[in-house]
Amino acid sequence: MKAFEPKIVSRLAKAGIPKEEFEALLPPPSDLSLELLKARGMNIVLNGKYYCFSTSLTSISDTLFCIVDIESNGSKPTRHQIIEIGAVKLLNGKIIDTYESLVYCQEIPKQIQEITGIGTEQTLKAPGLAKVMHEFHLFLGDAVFVGHDAKFDYNFVSAMMERVGLEGLLNRSLCTIDLAERTIESERYGLAYLNDQLELYKEATHHRALSDAMTTTKLLKRTLPLIPKSIKNAEELIAFSKEAKRLKRLKPSPKIVEEKSEEEERG
């Protein structure tokens, strides 16, 4: 079953769609189609006479977030693969579970090995992509998929699931870059930079999946108290992250500008 067009998704996220109208959109039998959508992470519920996302009815504190980070041996899901995945489940501000695994891979470019510290001597001993994706599919369930640049991680994970015979993801998603840009004044919004500036996770090892997922979790927790009080449920949070006005970026401090100038002169 293909994903719904954006207008349908928008209606499910807001007022909902009348039961008869929505079921008419589904391949028959509609009850089986609904179960297939739910198996792909689309958290649809019947609220009275309307179908909607459960996230439009669930408070932010009661929403299950799954914060995900991946490392890959390239940037294109059609040609490359995940070499490490890490995830953290967050509910009511508390970490309730984590997932972490390297993935079998025979080829990792030298540059990526240097950035991540992950070499083929490690991935050759790791479980295969199919095993990891099936495990992660069960771990993720219908939680809200959260990532720092969520679109990249989401699309990559979804493509890997399809590669091993699973259906692609339909989970609701939230990007912490978008959220940070609307709640935290900063010069830059890269994860490593925010971690240093906000002292999010002192034990961080940048470009390792679970560590970056943990840093992103701490960033999410930092941003949530800063959103407007009028935002009550997870769908309103997702909409705020995409539609609210971005804060004005801070200018580089004079010291940083001076250091950069000195580096340019030496270079």
Tens digit of each residue's pLDDT (9 = 90 or more) over 176-202: 999 999 999 999 999 999 999 999 999
Please give the backbone phi and psi of residue 98, each rounded to the nearest 5 degrees, phi first.
-140, 160
In sequence order, the β-bridge partners of residue 88 are: 67, 98
What does the block give as tokens for 6?
Answer: 């954006």
CB 69 within 8 A of CB 42: no
* Domain hosting residue 84, numbered range: 64-243
Judgement on whether residues 27 and 108 belong to the same structural domain of the protein:
no
How far, in Å, CA of 58 to CA of 60, rounded? 6
Judgement on whether residues 10 and 91 belong to the same structural domain of the protein:
no
Judgement on whether residues 144 and 231 belong to the same structural domain of the protein:
yes
Judgement on whether residues 219 and 102 belong to the same structural domain of the protein:
yes
Altogether, the residues listed in the chain come to a count of: 267
Contacts of 51 (CB under 8 A, 6+ apart): 12, 16, 17, 18, 19, 22, 23, 44, 45
Domain count, the chain: 2
Judgement on whether residues 128 and 214 belong to the same structural domain of the protein:
yes
Beta strands at 173-175 and 144-147: parallel, antiparallel or unpaired? parallel
pLDDT digits (tens, 9 = 90+) for 210-220: 999 999 999 99
Predicted local confidence at residue 252, as pLDDT: 87
> Does residue 21 form part of some domain?
yes
Provide the CATH number for the domain around residue 213.
3.30.420.10
Residue closest to 158 by CA, chosen among 182, 189, 133, 123 = 133
pLDDT digits (tens, 9 = 90+) for 69-93: 999 999 999 999 999 999 999 999 9
What does the block give as tokens for 136?
Answer: 């992660």
Predicted local confidence at residue 253, as pLDDT: 72
How far, in Å, CA of 63 to CA of 55, rounded? 7
State the amino acid at position 258 in one-letter form. Answer: E
